[in-house]
Amino acid sequence: MKAVTWLLAPFRYFRSTMYRQTLLSFFFIIVLTVTVLIADFYFLTAGDLRKQSVDNMKRLTQQSSATLNSYMGNTKAFAWNYFGDAEFQQFVLGMGQDPDALSYYQSKFIQFINDNPIMTSVNVMQLDGFSTRVGTSFLDSVPSERERLVDIALDQNGKGIWVPARIASHIPDFEHTIIFVQAIRNISLSSPGPTIGVMMYEMSPVSLGQWLKDVEGEGSNFTSIVRTLDGGVVYSSNRESAGSVALNEDELDKIKSGGTNGFFYSEDGSDHYLIVYQKLTGTDWMLLSKYPTETLMKPVKDFTNRTVVIGALILLVAMLLASFLSSRTMTPLKELSKGMKSIEVGNYAINLPVRSKDEIGYLSTSFNRMAKEINRLIMKVYETELVKKDAEIKALQSQINPHFLYNTLGIIDSLSSMDGDGRVSAISRSLAKMFRYNISGQAISTLEAEIAQIRLYLSIQKIRFDARLDYSIYLEPGLETVPIPKLLFQPLVENSILHGIGPCVEGGVVRIEAMAGDQGEIEVKVWNNGCPIDSEKQAWLSKLLSAGLRSGEHNLEQSSIGLLNVQSRIQMVYGEGFGLDFTSSEERGTTFTVRIHRQLPEEEAGHADHHH
């Protein structure tokens, strides 16, 4: 039991006031909106951003491989031009004997290095003899590596090949580079001729390493030149990766079946990567880039985090604004509700503060006017001790039913929790019109105006009871301008709603008809098919209405006071021959019939002219 009470505590807390209900409604609406926006972005836009990131990585790898292919292609083409050049072959055979030829070819090699800044040196050597070099070579301190490269060139029998090479170890971050080697043969018309020397085109390890670092960018991205056959690293900006294996068997199978370029996702324990590759032309190498998926999703996560932060700020601002707006709406309604309770207990001197000039402000102003008018009339009645008939009529007329006004404000309180509900405005306008009509200061109105007032009242009750209440109003043409005491029929309609329709679960219908009778009389019938009046109370009401103001009974029910007021006002204005009658049965419903004269007596007509 305690657990249930504890669970219901938040519900009771928010249910206790409309202000909290409104804030809670705003909170859920804003949270739902922000959540939907974030979810829509993450599930619809995140995929596009991820695809864009993958495309950017592919494009970067392709552009980088194109640049590297360009350098390697230029080197191979340059070397091939001299491989078939007879004059160059003669220069190699007689190297050191022709200073002009040496100067000529050295200038050519210098020009080549200038055109290809990633190259650091060009080295041409006889097999056993002289050599010439342009640029800075990192092989001087590693003679065994130079001998290995010469052997590779000789094994290729004149075909050029790119080879990874180990260079001087005194360079901190660069211990490897790649070198293009090609044997030089003395070609004749009859035979390819013997090998007479070797050409070596050495890439700068510093420039190559820096170029790979630029390709990798920031973060934990990894880009290297890898052998297609076994996944071994040919060259990497990270010297610790040189000679290691960058790809496993499954990844190699995907690359071998994927063509010259492509991409796929791979896992290494708990790490996930995007692998993009592009094979290098004329080699069995490829440019391989590995990007952590966290790097790819970083823009998505950053934007999502920003969206969450912005959403939280919007929620905070919206809640503050909602609190401000709710207080501006709820505070006057609470004051108005307290004012109605004061009216119910007889405190007619109440005066509500008017905080705005909108509909609610007008409602408060109208209430103050009504309370002031009621208080003035009651004081006047007390001062004259109900001596004059006009004072009696005004006292009876001024007894507007606070219960109806309180119920109406209850409807407004209930509907104000629904954001944007136009019914609140409709009720406020209708109630304001009724207040305006009541405090207009005129004792006599027209039948058409009274019917319009009843229509406003029923429209408010229709909003309250919804499908449980239907109503119809018929005014016979020609009766619109018939003068009648103001608010004569409203107690009858209120009684039909309160005691007829209200107690019935299924609701019912209220029908009002105003028709001309014989000898200048008018009959106004208020009928409902709700709960009937029991026989005992019918007898008591008949006796009460027959006695009128002479009954002397006190402590009557509110509805009985209203019926007695209607009867008393009719007889005071039109005489004893007119008044209120009723019938009630379960089969035919309950009907209140008011009989009045088409014309007011001369005295009452004079009062009407005076008030106008």
- pLDDT tens per residue, range 20-56: 777 777 777 877 877 787 777 666 776 777 777 778 8
Percent of the chain at pLDDT > 70 equals 80
Q: What's the mean pLDDT in 571-581?
A: 86
Q: How far is CA 606 from the centre of its chain?
A: 65
Residue range 257-312, pLDDT digits in tens: 878 888 888 887 778 888 889 888 888 899 988 888 777 777 777 777 877 788 77
Percent of the chain at pLDDT > 90 equals 17
Task: Count other Cβ atoms within 10 Å, centred on residue 222.
Answer: 20
CATH superfamily of the 470-612 domain:
Histidine kinase-like ATPase, C-terminal domain (3.30.565.10)
- Looking at residue 594, its pLDDT comes to 93
**Inter-residue contact 89 to 187 (CB < 8 Å):** yes
pLDDT band per the 50, 70, 90 thresholds, residue 402: very low
Residue range 79-106, pLDDT digits in tens: 988 887 888 988 888 887 888 999 999 9
Please, which residues bridge with residue 185 across strands?
A: 195
Burial-class residue 526 by CB neighbours within 10 Å (0-12, 13-18, 19+). Answer: buried
Q: Which residues contact 500 (CB under 8 A, 6 or more apart)?
A: 508, 510, 528, 529, 530, 531, 589, 590
Residue 314 DSSP SS3: helix
Among 470-474, 497-501, 542-546, top mean pLDDT goes to 470-474
- Looking at residue 243, its pLDDT comes to 72
Distance between CA atoms of 430 and 563, rounded to whole angstroms?
A: 24
- Looking at residue 601, its pLDDT comes to 78
- Looking at residue 27, its pLDDT comes to 76
Check residue 245 and report its DSSP letter: B
- Looking at residue 470, its pLDDT comes to 93
Q: Out of 14-18, 233-237, 261-265, which region has the weakest mean confidence (pLDDT)?
A: 14-18
Of 405, 474, 480, the C-alpha closest to 439 is: 405
- Looking at residue 214, its pLDDT comes to 83
Does residue 401 carry a pLDDT above 60? no
Same fold, 17-326 and 470-612: no
The four Cα atoms 39, 45, 46, 49 give a dihedral, to 10 degrees, of: -160
Q: What's the mean pLDDT in 541-548?
A: 81
**Inter-residue contact 132 to 122 (CB < 8 Å):** no
Pairwise pLDDT comparison (566 vs 237), residue with the higher score: 566
pLDDT band per the 50, 70, 90 thresholds, residue 367: confident
**Predicted TM-score (pTM) of this structure:** 0.48
Q: What's the mean pLDDT in 322-328?
A: 73
Distance between CA atoms of 404 and 25, rounded to whole angstroms?
A: 28
- Looking at residue 333, its pLDDT comes to 77
Task: Count other Cβ atoms within 10 Å, centred on residue 452.
Answer: 17
pLDDT band per the 50, 70, 90 thresholds, residue 554: very low
Q: Which residues contact 554 (CB under 8 A, 6 or more apart)?
A: none
Q: Out of 58-72, 318-332, 542-556, 577-591, which region has the weakest mean confidence (pLDDT)?
A: 542-556
Which residue ranges make up each domain of the chain?
17-326, 470-612
Residue range 108-140, pLDDT digits in tens: 999 999 999 889 899 999 888 788 999 887 777
Distance between CA atoms of 378 and 5, rounded to whole angstroms?
A: 48
Residue range 132-174, pLDDT digits in tens: 999 887 777 678 888 899 999 999 888 899 999 887 655 555 5
Does residue 203 carry a pLDDT above 80? yes
Rg (CA), the chain: 51
CATH superfamily of the 17-326 domain:
PAS domain (3.30.450.20)
Pairwise pLDDT comparison (258 vs 593), residue with the higher score: 593
**Inter-residue contact 221 to 291 (CB < 8 Å):** yes
Q: Which residues contact 335 (CB under 8 A, 6 or more apart)?
A: 352, 353, 364
Burial-class residue 598 by CB neighbours within 10 Å (0-12, 13-18, 19+). Answer: middle
Residue 592 DSSP SS3: strand
Q: Which residues contact 605 (CB under 8 A, 6 or more apart)?
A: 483, 599
Average pLDDT for the chain: 80
The residue type at 458: L
Does residue 589 carry a pLDDT above 80? yes
Does residue 218 carry a pLDDT above 90? no
- Looking at residue 64, its pLDDT comes to 87
- Looking at residue 611, its pLDDT comes to 46
Residue range 329-350, pLDDT digits in tens: 777 777 888 888 888 887 877 8
- Looking at residue 193, its pLDDT comes to 78
- Looking at residue 14, its pLDDT comes to 59
pLDDT band per the 50, 70, 90 thresholds, residue 399: very low
Residue with tokens 């001299």, as numbered in its chain: 82
Of 141, 138, 110, 125, the C-alpha closest to 196 is: 125
- Looking at residue 346, its pLDDT comes to 78
The residue type at 546: S
Task: Count other Cβ atoms within 10 Å, centred on residue 486.
Answer: 21
Distance between CA atoms of 331 and 356, rounded to whole angstroms?
A: 11
Q: Out of 203-212, 314-323, 554-563, 580-589, which region has the weakest mean confidence (pLDDT)?
A: 554-563
- Looking at residue 433, its pLDDT comes to 73
